[in-house]
Amino acid sequence: MTAPRKVPVVEFRSVSKTYGSGIAEVRALANVDLEIRHGEFVAIMGPSGSGKSTAMNMIGCLDRPTSGHYLFNGVDMVALSRSQLALIRRNYIGFVFQGFNLLPRTTAVENVELPLIYRGMPAEERRALAIRALARVGLAGREKHTSGELSGGQQQRVAIARAIVTDPSLLLADEPTGNLDTATSREIMDLVTSLNVDQGITVVMVTHEPDIAEYARRVIRFVDGRIESDVINRKAA
């Protein structure tokens, strides 16, 4: 799915999401309009129940709007089947989570290879790409270490390498420093910033920490299912 760079990576057109019905109905998103363009680094913030996680799930093709349209690289995701959405996630979106989600008894390089295995890529080719991805995140020489032999920061670097090994159009980071100490959090955010600035990867990050959001060049704040503010961070721009 190659789209012209003038086409937004992410576009919400009057997106609403409702859960439940009747008195139990919850409107998680309410007629949200949003564009995120190639090369941007966007932080999404908001209190619990604000809609930020629902928006992130929508962007990652893990959920569908109740009404409105979500376009990814110009293609309307609402029109796609579940299997087609799974292919979009597999081929064009990288995910980084707070909990790392690494296989514990598997080496770093084997963890990074996983998305390429799902693609059916030959072993030699995927091993070379995984080694290169680990080098990109500063883990050259650590390819054969298991999760138990790596620090928390190193484990998150492996998770980031796994997310970028497919050269995704979009990197989604959900509280990527939530399990890390302050110094390690800075290291991880410097890495994410480098991937964005130096390698041009579009990044969308959910965080509740203002100091982590400061790394992004644009900060969107959700309240009650709507975008309350959408500002450029001049310090990072």
Residue 188: what are its φ and ψ, rounded to 5°?
Answer: -65, -40
Domain boundaries, the chain: 10-232
106 neighbors 150 (Cβ within 8 angstroms): no
Measure the CA–CA gap between 209 and 206, rounded to whole angstroms.
9
pLDDT score for 24:
81
As beta bridge partners, residue 220 has: 44, 230
CA atoms within 13 A on the CB side of 21: 1
As beta bridge partners, residue 76 has: 71
111 neighbors 162 (Cβ within 8 angstroms): yes
pLDDT score for 97:
87
Measure the CA–CA gap between 208 and 41, rounded to whole angstroms.
16
As beta bridge partners, residue 75 has: 72
Mean pLDDT per 10-residue section of the chain, whose length is 237 residues = 75 95 87 96 94 94 94 94 93 89 91 91 95 94 93 92 93 91 93 92 94 96 96 80
Topology, domain 10-232: Rossmann fold (3.40.50)
Question: pTM (2 decimals)?
Answer: 0.92
Our CA angle for 115, 195, 113, nearest 5°, is 15
